[in-house]
Structures are given as structure tokens and as C-alpha cells.
Amino acid sequence: MKALYPGSFDPLTFGHLDLIQRGSDLFGEVLIAVLENPSKKATFPCERRIEQIKNATRDISGCRTIAFKGLTVDCAREHNADLILRGLRAMSDFEYELQVAHTNRSLNNQYETIFLATETHHSFLSSSLVKEVARFGGEIRHMVPEFIAKDLLALNTN
């Protein structure tokens, strides 16, 4: 089976990597779909986020990374995905993720959304939290891979 794992991944965290690894183990193939959202100001350009993800996932079998614009269900159809994979950190994520899953289902009922709970030790992680900590010079190497930490720290020293 092929799972589509959509998101902005700005930046990729160890929580994301946990879901990618577990998704690959469960489904055999994970297509990491990096959203190019022109209405959001990304910290890293889409091309750089894809490079970061490819570097971080090079030892995980069965995963591939692409960029996409538009609707998740259209991306899933275009790339022959069997399902949509989403992560849940806390109960607060559930309400939003359920709404998105229902919306996707209303747009194309071919796609089920499968939720995986993040490992407990990653449950506090979010890309926005990582960026905030990095902005103020805090330690983030336990939150993101080393090369992503360096990218974030370089942004904040310029």
C-alpha cells in the first residue's frame, strides 16, 4: 500500500520522522508530499524542505518526497496513493485533523485518512515550536536532525 503523508514540514521534526518510519513499516510505501502554499510564508523554500526530508529519510526504505500544490486528495489521486496518513500529538490535534479528514472524504470518498499517534517523547514537537526555540537561540538538536538545526540556526544568525 502507498500512504500519502502531506504537510508543510517547515521544518521536518523527529515527530514527522517517527511517522514516516512507522508508516513505511505499516504500509510499505510513504509518499511525503510537501505543500507549496503561497498564502503562507515558509521559513525554508519548498526545494530546501524537500532536500532536508530526502537527507533525513535516506535510510528509511519505501519513502519518496514530492512537492504539491492544491488539494491533498488530488495529489493522492495523481500519485496513486491508497490512503492519507496524518499524525496526532494531542487531543487538540484531533478536532482539526478530523475536520480535514471529513473534508477530504467529501471531496473524494476513495481516500481514508489513517491517524497515527506520535510517540510520547515527540508529542510536544511542532514545527512552529522548533522555529520559536531556534529564533531565541535555544537547543533544538533533540527536536530536529542536526543539519536542519544548522539550517535554522544559520537563519537566525544572519
User: Which of the residues are catalytic?
Assistant: 16, 40, 89, 127
Q: How many CB atoms lie within 10 A of CB 143?
A: 23
**Burial profile 69-82: b = 16 or more Cβ within 10 angstroms, e = fewer:** eeebbebbeeeebb
Beta bridge partners of 87: 116
Task: Categorise residue 62: left if φ over 0, alpha if ψ from -120 to 50, beta otherwise.
Answer: left
Kindly compute the dihedral angle of the four CA atoms of residues 151, 152, 155, 158, in this order, to the nearest 10 degrees.
-90
CA distance readout (Å), 96 to 84, 134, 135: 15, 26, 27
Question: Can you say whether the dihedral through the CA atoms of 26, 28, 34, 35 is positive or negative?
Answer: negative
